[in-house]
Amino acid sequence: MPKKRFDTGPGPSQRALRVGELVRHAMAEILTRGDLIDDVVTSHVITIPEVRMSPDLKLATIYVMPLGGKDEKAVVEALQRHRRFLRGELSRRLSIKFMPDIRFRLDESFDEAARIDSLLHSHKVQADLSSHPGEDDDDDAGPDGMNSHPYARPSKADDDETP
């Protein structure tokens, strides 16, 4: 049994990332140029923040978000209806060995970022942050108030005590 030459690790490979970016740019070009004629798609500005490729590069999951967040499900359904046409347009624009099947998903990273932001600005977190001011001022001070680290410089208070 041959050994693997490179450990791919838990994340996507460099090739998958590169092909994902190619697909993202080509799909954004298709949507901005108006090659797809659909009332739902043409009435929205659609952003494509990410494309995730499967490890074998046979499937591309394209995450989309209509600008303003209106009619999200209708936009994703319209793109899903036209995915054969969009895959054909991608194959004309990209020169890769196998054109991956494509599927569209709603990008929820914006909602997740807003949720985390609201949590960080909540009253509980603000109260917790303000209840511990200046904790790390005297972390290294010994029982007599002096710095207990053997290689530390003497503080100004130590210099003032000399007669």
**Closest listed residue to residue 93, CA positions, set 18, 16, 30:** 30
Q: Which residues pair with 64 in a beta bridge?
A: 106
More confident site: 29 or 69: 29
Which of the given ranges, 60-64, 95-99, 156-160, has the highest pLDDT on average? 60-64
* 42: Cβ contacts below 8 Å, ≥ 6 apart: 34, 36
| Predicted confidence (pLDDT) per residue in 4-34, tens digit | 555 556 788 899 999 999 999 999 999 999 8
CB 50 within 8 A of CB 63: yes
pLDDT recorded at residue 148: 56
Range 86-114 burial, b when 16+ CB lie within 10 A, else e = beebbeeeeeeeebbebebeebeeeeeee
**Closest listed residue to residue 59, CA positions, set 99, 1, 27:** 99
Q: Could you tell me the domains of the chain?
A: 14-114 (3.30.300.20)
